[in-house]
Amino acid sequence: MGVVRHVVCAMSGGVDSSVTALLLRRRGYHVTGVFMKNWDSLDENGVCSSEKDCEDAYKVCQNLDIPFHQVSYVKEYWHEVFTNLLKEYEKGRTPNPDILCNKHIKFNHFYNYAINGLGADAMATGHYARTSQEDEDVFQQSHVAPPPKHVFRDRFEIRNPVRLYQGADRFKDQTFFLSQISQDALRRTVFPLSGLTKDYVKKIAAEAGFQHVLKKKESMGICFIGERKFEDFILEYLEPKPGNFVSIEDGKIMGEHQGWFTLTLGQRARIGGQRDAWFVVDKDITTGEVFVGPTTNHPALFRDTVRTDRFHWITEDPPTELIQTKMMECHFRFIHQMPLTPCTVTLNMDGSVWIMLSQPIRALTPGQFAVLYKGDECLGSGKIVRLGPTEHTLQQGRDPLPHSLNLY
């Protein structure tokens, strides 16, 4: 009889991770379910929502007759994700905690706990994504010593990196959120939902009797904010810094806000006494002024160029085409589920990239991640740190605002 492979499954108490554990069990693996606690919080009724999720995950593990563990990364989440989040907001950026959580917590601390702490052959999650490996290839990795890490790789080293591809359910595809994870973690991860649609996953859950997880609402938005307004939440951690709303059209002061970090580009600005809607188009963090435009599709919201920080390539190295010619055609998105936009990427000497889009896009935002795709392969991502000029600036034929986010 062959060796029974040990897979540690990340359990959230939701339908996707529950069905993931079920499918692994059906494949004959030795499965251990582990629930991660990343945040200490109470909902409006004083109930800790993570305790309810943990209980739901435990019930599924009981149902499947598999071991259940729980592990806390509250401290790590605070230091490696949340403090970074606050610093980004203070700089006028809008970070993405889900991408950072996968990078630092799930595919780093949790991954190491699964492989080294519990001695698993592989880790599994309920993400809708797939890789270039078959499951058996993943298990072979547990018997191969990782190559030594060098600052520069041997030019003659033969490598066969694992690639990340979109899942079969293109609407639910979650490669966007996995675009910063390491090659080492991807090499030892299986995604049992890769070929399934969300509807089919729900059908499997119903047939398995997982009614308690089927009833739950799909988790959306930032997990630790819950149902609260973002402004109320962020002001619990950052001191209010009142400033003026200023019209991008004529420089007129329109009203006052509680701090530039409570607002993001493209959102509606709540300005008292205004009959028409105004939208945030830029921020000047030196004066505290937030610039607003009078329509949701104001030209000051549209740009076609961004620059990232050092780009994270899933395969560790940039595509050969980009290395050889310094330019490459591919597709871009900076929000999950937004349509992919054709673009041209230019590689800079410091590893950052310029991305020129085939058409201007609304509310490109510093702090968000520029995620690139070639066909159905997710190439990786880089944090947006600089924006090109807006359509409004180009139409006016003038310089951008001196301290605006364009220059961040």
Residues marked as catalytic: 101, 223
Task: Burial-class residue 90 by CB neighbours within 10 Å (0-12, 13-18, 19+).
Answer: middle
Q: What is the DSSP string of 318-371?
A: --HHHHHHSEEEEEEESSTTSPPEEEEEEE-TTS-EEEEEEEEEET--TTSEEE
HSE of 350, CA atoms in CB hemisphere, 13 A: 7
HSE of 60, CA atoms in CB hemisphere, 13 A: 36
What φ, ψ does residue 330 adopt, rounded to 5°?
-160, -155
Torsion of CA 310, 316, 318, 321, to 10 degrees: 180
Beta bridge partners of 357: 343
SS3 assignment, position 239:
coil
SS3 assignment, position 136:
helix
DSSP state of 3: P
DSSP state of 219: P
CA distance 136 to 120: 14
- CB contact at 8 A, 167 and 174: yes
SS3 assignment, position 290:
strand
The token duo for 374 is 């070639």
- What amino acid is encoded at 317 in this protein? D
Strand 129-131 relative to strand 164-166: parallel, antiparallel, unpaired? antiparallel
CA distance 366 to 87: 13
